[in-house]
Amino acid sequence: MSVPSEVHKNVILLPQTNQLIGLYSIIRDQSTKRGDFVFYSDRIIRLLVEEGLNQLPVEETIIKCHGSHEYKGAKFLGKICGVSIVRAGESMEMGLRDCCRSVRIGKILIQRDEETALPKLFYEKLPEDISERYVFLLDPMLATGGSAMMAVEVLLRRGVKMNRIFFLNLLAAPEGIEHFQSKYPDIKIITGGIDEKLDEHKYIVPGLGDFGDRYYCI
Amino acid sequence: MTNHTSTPSPAPSSLSVKIPKPRRFSRIAPDNDSTSSFFNSSDQLTDSPFSESHPLQATTSTSALLFGNENGISNLHIETTNSHSNVHSQLQTPLHGASYIPPWTEPYIIGIAGNSGSGKTSIAQKIVQELNQPWTVLLSFDNFYNPLTEDERKLAFSNNFDFDTPESLDLNLVVETVLSLKKGHKTTIPVYSFEHHNRTDKTITIYGANVIIIEGIYTLYDPRLLDIMDLKIYVDTDLDICLARRLTRDILYRGRDLSGCLQQWEKFVKPNAVKYVNPTMNNADLIIPRGLDNVIAINLMIKHIEKQLILKSSQHLKYLQTLDIKIRDLNEYNVKILPINNQTKGINSILFNEDTERSDFIFYFDRISTIIIEEGLHFINDFEPITVTAAKSYQYQGLKLVDDIVAISIIRSGDCFMNSIKKTFPEISIGKLLIQSDSKTGEPQLHYDSIPQDIQQNKIMLFDSQIISGAASIMAIQVLLDHDCKPKDIILCCYLSTELGLRRILNVFPEVNIVIGKLSNINDNADGSKWYNPENCKDTDWQFRNRFIDSLYFGTD
């Protein structure tokens, strides 16, 4: 069993198996058609969500089994909430729903302000009781980490505890991870791949292009 | 003259592969007699499971009754068939680990000979009907006529070609075919057309037969065939009666005219019968006078065959149970077991819980089966390096999967994985195997197979949601190997398995890859890779020894 590795504190990288590299080769390839891009991205997203769920605590419980045995098992606590950063983050909601059917999902819209070139919060809609929940922050790419950090600010303002936030992404740049972690050391980053660097335009190298554009076909 | 083709004695359907609906007690005869004999024979087995003493001896007196025919021929050939001693010798010298001998490797072969019109076909059909075995194959000599030349064909169309000599048949091909079936191989059989007097381009494929019935006038003619057959029957019906039956059949049902039929009888059928067919009576173990009318003889014969099959079946079972012994450390094999972590523990709890709603059960089974499939994919390592153009023409050194993957599901238990496999590979080819255990004896029986073409070039994911005795999985793997697949290309995916079943599978197929969701012990070990019970574990040490997963998944409980 290949177990995801904690590459450094609070950064969990999915095991870089041939299978996974094969999947990434497909979604990185610019000639991949949208149908395949969506399908294979979804497969990776499901792996990320499974890994995220695995980080959550469970409650020990005794189960009465078929055939009248007892199994010392575990019960899910179910206090989860997904928060997607609009638009690209919404592509990961489906994967989360595949694993947690009735999960609540909040949304945050952050856009780059044309005048200041800084990210600006436009809209947020989160469940009332989010402060009591474990939060999966969904955004497929961690480049500079600017919008993710703004989203975290929103969550912290709503009373979510830092160690209850998990940031799920498909691809991260080392600069972004460092920047993010320097400010929020207790938030776990769960990623499927860590790339080489950011280029001068703050794009991930080699990256996979604009995830939202490729997923939503614009 | 009519332009009807002259046929020697074609059976209505010249070859039929009968697949009766799985019946619960297929190996047990309806009356008490044979049931008790089954227990007797299995009791004997406990002492010496592969003893070479042949139970035919027990039926000697039975057989002798059948030989009071008017010719006074007493040719009681009770030759001990050596099929069982073959099993024995293979058991003694396993190459590495053990080898599995599926029931179709040693099918029970019955030959039925007799003159045209003697009632061979009816008796063969009666046997098929009475035995009700999962796979009984009726093989008719009619498919093995030599293709004719242009001149011969002209003769044949005018009723002047002799179809009744042994030379008109391709006996070499018959021997080849039966030998191949006897070895358990997938075998192709030609289809002969009497309309064109030639082999057609159609063929019939037979695989996995438990019982083969060979039927034709020259069944007991070729010494090579005599060696292969377990039971040789000659149907001895008076030639006058044969003629009468033949005339009725040909005129009423095949639209021929009387003079043509008589001409053929006089010229070919009768002389050949006297010259070649009648003497083969001496090769028979059993002679049935008066054909199908001889109810007592037929019933005795069927009883005897049933007894042989029960013996064969209990040897198969017995053998399966010995497979877990002598195995190396299980960690040396290609086995992966999902780690015990919060998620798997939580999902297991939901799946095991008897209060779980079906909708939840299906949802969580789909989830864990997706994880099992992803884990199984790690066994596939044939990737080639590729360079792809990622964002802004940056190059990425990636990998591309070389193999194609085919899914094979063991009905119905493996079908629980189909949702997840389609979610992982939407365009995957899916093959099916129906293997059911006899509810009384527990012996697994292959009922149906549908395997995609060219499967041997692909990686194969084989699905079964529960491994209990391991018998069904062993049989399924054997089916794949018989289709030329390599053990290292097979990935067996299973949710709940006993360690015993796993040991048996690995003992026979050490190179097969296996992914298990959970070993079926109740107590989780902290380290999922540690084995529950390293030595001498018995079937009864395991929980979940009944199949509940597919019942809950498909809602038939």
| Whole-number Cα distances in Å, B132 to A76, B129, B214, B302 | 50, 6, 17, 11
Count of other CB atoms within 10 angstroms of residue A181: 17
| Whole-number Cα distances in Å, A56 to A5, A44, B356 | 16, 19, 22
Specify whether the CB–CB gap between B514 and B335 falls below 8 A.
yes
Among B265-269, B372-376, B514-518, B525-529, the range scoring the smallest mean pLDDT is B525-529
- Tell which wins on pLDDT, B132 or A98: A98
pLDDT recorded at residue B36 = 30
For A47, name the nearest residue in chain B, comparing CA atoms only: B371
Per residue in A136-185, pLDDT (tens digit) is: 999 999 998 888 999 999 999 999 999 999 999 999 999 999 999 999 99
Residue located via tokens 């197929």: B509
Q: How far is A99 from chain B (nearest CA, A)?
A: 7
Report the amino acid identity of residue B477: I
The DSSP letter of residue A24 is H
Give the largest Cα separation in chain B, rounded.
Answer: 96
Specify whether the CB–CB gap between B76 and B63 falls below 8 A.
yes
Rounded average pLDDT over B497-512: 84
Q: How far apart are the first and last CA of chain A?
A: 39
**Cα(B350)–Cα(B355) distance, integer angstroms:** 9
Residues of A whose CB is below 8 A from B390:
28-30, 206-209
Specify whether the CB–CB gap between B459 and B489 falls below 8 A.
yes
Per residue in B208-250, pLDDT (tens digit) is: 677 888 999 899 998 998 988 989 999 998 888 889 888 888 8
**Cα(B383)–Cα(A8) distance, integer angstroms:** 29
Which of B359, B299, B313 is CA-nearest to residue B66? B299
- Tell which wins on pLDDT, B527 or A7: A7
Reported confidence tier of residue B325, pLDDT bands at 50, 70, 90? low
Which of B284, B246, B281 is CA-nearest to residue B263? B246
Residue located via tokens 């358990």: B184
**Residue A136 belongs to what H/E stretch?**
strand A134-138
Q: pTM of this prediction?
A: 0.70
- Tell which wins on pLDDT, B440 or B211: B211
Contact across the interface for B349 and A73, Cβ inside 8 Å:
yes
Rounded average pLDDT over B37-44: 30
Q: Is the peptide bond before B412 cis (omega within 30 degrees of 0)?
A: yes
Reported confidence tier of residue B55, pLDDT bands at 50, 70, 90? very low
**Cα(A97)–Cα(B65) distance, integer angstroms:** 74
The DSSP letter of residue B249 is I
pLDDT recorded at residue A170 = 95
pLDDT recorded at residue B17 = 43
For A61, name the nearest residue in chain B, comparing CA atoms only: B349
3-class secondary structure, B48: coil
Q: Is the peptide bond before B545 cis (omega within 30 degrees of 0)?
A: no
**In chain B, which among 405-434 make CB contacts under 8 A with chain A?**
424, 426
Among A31-45, B196-210, B424-438, the range scoring the smallest mean pLDDT is B196-210
**Cα(B256)–Cα(B262) distance, integer angstroms:** 10
**In chain A, which among 73-92 make CB contacts under 8 A with chain B?**
73-76
Q: Is the peptide bond before A206 cis (omega within 30 degrees of 0)?
A: yes
- Closest CB to B426: pick one of A39, A63, A66: A39
Specify whether the CB–CB gap between B553 and B362 falls below 8 A.
yes
**In chain B, which among 342-371 make CB contacts under 8 A with chain A?**
342-343, 345-346, 348-349, 352-355, 363, 367, 370-371
Per residue in B255-264, pLDDT (tens digit) is: 778 888 888 8
The DSSP letter of residue B371 is H
pLDDT above 80 (res B39): no
Q: Which residues have a Cβ under 8 Å from the Cβ of B222 and sit 6 or more positions away? A: B166, B171, B174, B175
Mean pLDDT of chain B: 74
Is residue A163 less than 8 Å (CB to CB) from chain B?
Answer: no
pLDDT above 60 (res B88): no
Is residue A71 less than 8 Å (CB to CB) from chain B?
Answer: yes
Reported confidence tier of residue A7, pLDDT bands at 50, 70, 90? low
Reported confidence tier of residue A72, pLDDT bands at 50, 70, 90? confident
Is residue B395 less than 8 Å (CB to CB) from chain A?
Answer: yes
Rounded average pLDDT over A196-202: 86
The DSSP letter of residue B353 is B
pLDDT recorded at residue B16 = 42
**In chain B, which among 524-553 make CB contacts under 8 A with chain A?**
524, 528-529, 543-546, 548
pLDDT above 50 (res B31): no
pLDDT recorded at residue B162 = 82
pLDDT recorded at residue A158 = 93
Specify whether the CB–CB gap between A25 and B400 falls below 8 A.
yes
pLDDT recorded at residue B97 = 54
pLDDT recorded at residue B196 = 75
**Cα(B471)–Cα(B410) distance, integer angstroms:** 12
Report the amino acid identity of residue B365: F
Reported confidence tier of residue B532, pLDDT bands at 50, 70, 90? very low
Contact across the interface for B399 and A25, Cβ inside 8 Å:
yes
Per residue in B459-473, pLDDT (tens digit) is: 999 999 998 878 888
**Cα(B171)–Cα(B221) distance, integer angstroms:** 9
Specify whether the CB–CB gap between A74 and B527 falls below 8 A.
no
- Closest CB to B395: pick one of A63, A64, A206: A206
Per residue in B135-178, pLDDT (tens digit) is: 678 888 888 888 888 888 888 777 778 888 888 888 899 999 88
Scanning B101-202, the segments in alpha helix (DSSP H) are 120-131, 150-157, 171-182
**Cα(B292)–Cα(B121) distance, integer angstroms:** 9
pLDDT above 90 (res B418): yes
Rounded average pLDDT over B178-202: 80
Percent of chain B surpassing pLDDT 70: 74
Report the amino acid identity of residue B245: R
Q: Which residues have a Cβ under 8 Å from the Cβ of A172 and sit 6 or more positions away? A: A141, A142, A189, A191, A193, A194, A195, A204
Packed helices B471-482 and B499-508: angle between N→C axes, nearest 10 degrees: 30
The DSSP letter of residue B6 is P
pLDDT recorded at residue B76 = 32
- Closest CB to B342: pick one of A57, A99, A210: A57
Count of other CB atoms within 10 angstroms of residue B538: 9
Concatenated DSSP letters of A66-122 = TTS-EEEEEEE---EEEEEEETGGGGGHHHHHHHSTT-EEEEEEEEE-TTT-SEEEE
Is residue A5 less than 8 Å (CB to CB) from chain B?
Answer: no
Point out the residues of A that are catalytic.
112, 116, 210, 213
Reported confidence tier of residue B375, pLDDT bands at 50, 70, 90? very high
